[in-house]
Amino acid sequence: MKPNNDSRAKRALRFIGPRLFQFVFVIWAAYTLTFLLLHLLPGDPLIAALSVKGGDATPTDPDELRELRARYGLDGSMWDQYVTNGLAALRGDLGVSIATGQNVGDMIARALPNTAIVAILALVIGVTVSMVITYWAFVARRSWLRNSLLQIPPLGVAIPAFFSGLVLVSVFAYGLGLLPSSGSRNPLSPILPAVTLAMPVGAIFFQVFSAAVLEARASSYVFTAIAKGVSLPLLFFRHVLRNALLPSITILGLLIGYLAGGTAVVESVFSRDGIGRLTVDAVLARDGNVVQGVVLVVAVVYSVVNLLVDLSYGLIDPRIRPAGRRRVRAAHDAAVVAS
């Protein structure tokens, strides 16, 4: 018993160890990469950020600026700032926004739930709709019907979110008056932004999911089952669904990255507070601390999801691990392109 336990622990460690290392590395590298990009900027981040608060009275006098630079701690060497900020971030302190004077951690904590609601709702809508369409295609007896159904989701990738958002808000908010157009005060307000984001997200999920399902449909065991008189719906829910879901889960992390980016456009169109608009505003204001904070938080969320997906995948079905991993990689690459 004992040696067996021991080797299992070792095996588990060998499985988890590299993944934990990668988890830490991704976050560190995201920090470093963003820090470098932000500090290579030619513009003066101080003036840009001050002008958010200053309007047409923004200071431009060199002496005043020198004084302010010292006040915001922007006068140390790059290396000093890198180390100081990095250590502070480890303690959970993301610094202070130059533009707004607010704590970056607070700003992100405030915006995150707004974005999370929209993102999760979009994920649920997108995944559900693409599963329903795939199911219809699976049970469709006529190939032309199946093929037409399969043509629908790629539309979702081709329609820019800013465009579909504008159309949706015109029709459902202004035209029919069914849903609130903007802001986050109304409990129904996440619906339109979520539907807008669900289109591309659903389409990406669809590519992986439908490929797996249709592959199964063409396989011999489905063929045999049909010959034996098993109905297609039963087959779908009993066997195909579970097998097709496994590779699909792995692109979850990727979809979350996509959602974090997609919200930048959607939150602008719908005038909502959230991570995306926070980022756009921060980039406009060259508010480095905020951009840095957002990238770190997104990297952490992405890494956590990927770590969980990786671990759960190994746990759910250890038998298909090697084959599964290959399929996962392929699905991953396909989805990367689509996103």
Partner 1 sequence: MTNPSHRLRRALAPIGAVAALSLLAACSSGGGATTDSGSQDMTSARDTLIFAIKEDPTCIDPQQTTLTTSLNIGRQVVDSLVDQNAETGEIVPWLASEYTANDELTSFDFTLRDGVTFSDGSALTSDTVKANFDALFALGRTASLASQYLAGYTDTTVVDDTHFTVNFSAPNVVFLQGASTMTLGIVAGASATASPEERCTTGVIGSGPFTFTSYTPNDSVVISAREGYGWPSELRQHTGDALVKTIEFPVITENGNRTGGLESGEYDIIQDVPYIDAARFESGDFQLFSKANTGVPNGLIPNLKHSSVVADPAVRKAIQLATDREEIRDLTGAPGSEAASSALTSSTTGFVSQADALATDVDAAAKGLEAAGWKLGSDGIREKNGQKLTFTVTAFYAQDVLEVAQMQLKKVGIDMQINITDAGGFFGAISSGDYDFLAAALTRTDPDALRTVFSQAAASKWAIIDDPALESVLIEQSTLNDTEARMALVAEAQKLIIENGDFIPLLETVQLHGASSAIQGFEFDSASRIQLYDVRATS
Partner 2 sequence: MKMLISRPGMLVSALVVVAALAMTFLPQMFATHDPFEGIPADQLQPPSAAHWFGTDALGRDVYSRVVYGALLSLATAGLAVVVGVALGAVVGLVSGFVGGRLDFVLMRIVDVVIAVPSILLSLIVVAGLGFGAVPVAIGVGIGAAGSFARVTRSQVVRVRRAEYVEAALGMGVRWPAILVRHVFPNSARPVIALAALEVGTAILAVSALSFLGFGAPPPAPEWGALVSYGRDFLATAWWLSVLPGAVIVVVVLAVNRLARAIGGER
Q: Which residues bind partner 1 (CB under 8 A)?
A: 43-45, 47-62, 64-65, 68, 96, 99-102, 107, 110-111, 114, 166, 169-170, 173-174, 177, 180-186, 268-271, 273, 277-278, 281, 284-286
Nearer to partner 1, 184 or 207 (CB): 184
Nearer to partner 2, 163 or 221 (CB): 163
CB of 115 to partner 2, least distance (A): 12
Q: Which among partner 2, partner 1, none contacts residue 265 (Cβ within 5 to 8 A by kind)?
A: partner 2
Binding-site ranges for partner 2 (CB under 8 A): 22, 25-26, 29-30, 33-34, 37-38, 40-43, 154-155, 157-163, 166-167, 169-170, 174, 254, 257-258, 260-262, 264-265, 268-269, 279-280, 283-284, 286, 291, 294-295, 298-299, 302-303, 333, 336-339
Q: Which among partner 2, partner 1, none contacts residue 262 (Cβ within 5 to 8 A by kind)?
A: partner 2
Q: Which among partner 1, partner 2, none contacts residue 207 (Cβ within 5 to 8 A by kind)?
A: none
Give the 3-state secondary structure of the chain: CHHHHHHHHHHHHHHHHHHHHHHHHHHHHHHHHHHHHHHCCCCCHHHHHHHHHHHHHCCCCHHHHHHHHHHCCCCCCHHHHHHHHHHHHHCCCCCECCCCCCEHHHHHHHHHHHHHHHHHHHHHHHHHHHHHHHHHHHHCCCHHHHHHHHHHHHHHHHCCHHHHHHHHHHHHHHHCCCCCCCCCCCCCCCHHHHHHHHHHHHHHHHHHHHHHHHHHHCCHHHHHHHHCCCCHHHHHHHHHHHHHHHHHHCCHHHHHHHHHHHHHHHHHHCCCCCHHHHHHHHHHCCCHHHHHHHHHHHHHHHHHHHHHHHHHHHHHCHHHHHHHHHHHHHHHHHHHHHC
Q: Which among partner 2, partner 1, none contacts residue 185 (Cβ within 5 to 8 A by kind)?
A: partner 1
CB of 213 to partner 2, least distance (A): 16
Q: Which among partner 1, partner 2, none contacts residue 333 (Cβ within 5 to 8 A by kind)?
A: partner 2
